[in-house]
């Protein structure tokens, strides 16, 4: 296995674990525990209303499914290489959103600029690593 393939697998595995954990948290945790989990993973705590709790549960299913998809990519990159497309779309859209909404995120959720920048850099790194190391067709 080449270094490029290994970097891809490690990147996909990290993304898979992150999304699996966040998705399961959204689906299974009680509101109080979920608030501290969101604080740890995302760096902010939104005002938790019953409506937001319901939305988090719905979103958790999508996040969990994305984690499973990234896990498949990590386990067998060549077989599932077509899944790089939705991964790049999601990372790209999240990156653009994070950049465009940088000020609003900081203001609305009291996220420090450093923590917000960490989110931008993390998404950019995931996007670039998947793009640069994704397996090509044989």
Quickly list DSSP for 13-30.
HHHHHHHHHHHHHHHH--
Query: Percent of the chain, pLDDT > 70?
Result: 99
Radius of gyration, alpha carbons of the chain: 16
More confident residue, 29 or 71: 71
Q: Which of 34, 19, 133 shows the shortest CA–CA distance to 65?
A: 19
More confident residue, 93 or 106: 93
Q: Quick check: 77 pLDDT over 70?
A: yes
What token pair was written down for 128? 């670039």
Distance (Å, rounded) from C-alpha 98 to C-alpha 15? 17
Mean pLDDT of 86-98: 97
Q: What is the pLDDT of residue 43?
A: 78
pLDDT band for position 118 (cuts 50, 70, 90): very high
Distance (Å, rounded) from C-alpha 10 to C-alpha 13? 5
pLDDT digits (tens, 9 = 90+) for 119-131: 999 999 999 999 9
Mean pLDDT of 22-42: 85
Distance (Å, rounded) from C-alpha 49 to C-alpha 76? 40
Write down the mean pLDDT value for the chain.
92
Mean pLDDT of 78-98: 97
DSSP string, 39-89: HHHHS------HHHHHHHHHHHHHHHHHHHHHHHHHH-TTTTGGGHHHHHH
Q: What is the pLDDT of residue 138?
A: 66
pLDDT band for position 11 (cuts 50, 70, 90): very high
Query: Percent of the chain, pLDDT > 90?
Result: 71
């Amino acid at each position: 296995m080449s270094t490029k393939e290994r970097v891809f697998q490690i990147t996909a595995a990290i993304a898979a674990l992150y999304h699996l954990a966040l998705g399961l948290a959204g689906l299974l945790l009680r509101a109080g525990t979920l608030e501290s989990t969101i604080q740890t993973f995302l760096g902010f705590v939104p005002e938790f209303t019953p409506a937001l709790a319901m939305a988090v549960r719905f979103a958790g299913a999508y996040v969990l499914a994305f984690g499973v998809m990234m896990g498949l990519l990590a386990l067998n990159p060549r077989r599932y290489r077509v899944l790089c497309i939705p991964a790049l779309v999601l990372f790209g859209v999240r990156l653009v959103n994070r950049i465009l909404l940088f000020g609003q995120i900081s203001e609305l959720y009291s996220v420090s600029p450093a923590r917000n920048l960490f989110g931008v850099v993390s998404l950019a790194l995931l996007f670039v690593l998947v793009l640069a190391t994704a397996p090509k067709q044989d």
